[in-house]
Amino acid sequence: MQTNSAAYRKAPHTAADQLTNQRTLETIVSSFLHYGTLVSATLIFLGLALAMLRGGDTGYPVGVYPIKPADIWQGLLAGHAAAVESLGFLALLAIPITRVAITVWGYSRQREYPIAVVSFAVLMVLLMSFLLGVNAS
């Protein structure tokens, strides 16, 4: 019976087994989003609070803040408030992209290949637009 994979795929899923099937991936996605927002919010808050405690000194001239990962890293080493905040924004931007990567992995593991392929295509579009955007800037 288990060799007949086509028949297996066409077998109707009852609500119950579909739910147990989905539960794991949903728990993973949900916890990832939870901790992702927590990390990003903490960094942004720390950056803002540091600048405020230092009387508005972000470590950079007014209107200037680090954008490139290398500059952010340098700023972090120097303890600049704006670098901590920028890291928080980077973490925030990484959340949706990583989340799509997690669903690609999850659907593949559950052998739901059509939706895994769709999700993979989304990941590629995101990466492409990210690269296009960064280059265009």
Partner 1 sequence: MTLTATALAFIGSILAGFIGSLLGLGGGIIIIPMATLLFHVPMHQAIGVSIIAVIATSSAAASAYVKDNVANLRVGSFLELATTTGALLGAVLTAHIPSQMLTILFSLLLIYSAYNMFQKRNSELPQGVEGHPVAAQLHMHNTYFDRTLGRQVPYKVDGVFKGFAVMWGAGIISGLLGIGSGMLKVLGMDMVMRLPMKVSTATSNFMIGVTAAASAGYYFASGLINPSLAGPVALGVFVGARSGSSVMSRLRSSTLRKVFVPVLLYTAVQMLVKGVQ
Residues that bind partner 1 (CB under 8 A): 13, 15, 18-19, 21-22, 25-27, 29-31, 33-34, 36-37, 40-41, 44-45, 47-48, 52, 65, 67, 82, 85-86, 88-90, 92-93, 95-97, 99-100, 103, 107, 112, 114-115, 118-119, 121-122, 125-126, 128-134, 136-137
Q: How far apart are CA 84 and CA 80, in angstroms?
A: 7
CB closer to partner 1 out of 4 and 11: 11
> Can you count the helices (H) and strands (E) in the chain?
5, 0
Q: How far apart are CA 133 and CA 93, in angstroms?
A: 13
Check if the beta carbon of residue 65 is closer than 8 Å to that of residue 58. Answer: yes
Q: Pick from 63, 62, 82: which is nearest to 72 by CA?
A: 82
CB closer to partner 1 out of 4 and 134: 134
Nearest approach in angstroms of CB 77 to partner 1 is: 19
CB closer to partner 1 out of 4 and 121: 121
Nearest approach in angstroms of CB 78 to partner 1 is: 17
Nearest approach in angstroms of CB 10 to partner 1 is: 9
Residues 49-73 as b or e (16 or more Cβ within 10 Å = b): ebbeeeeeebbbeeeebbeeeeebe
Nearest approach in angstroms of CB 85 to partner 1 is: 5
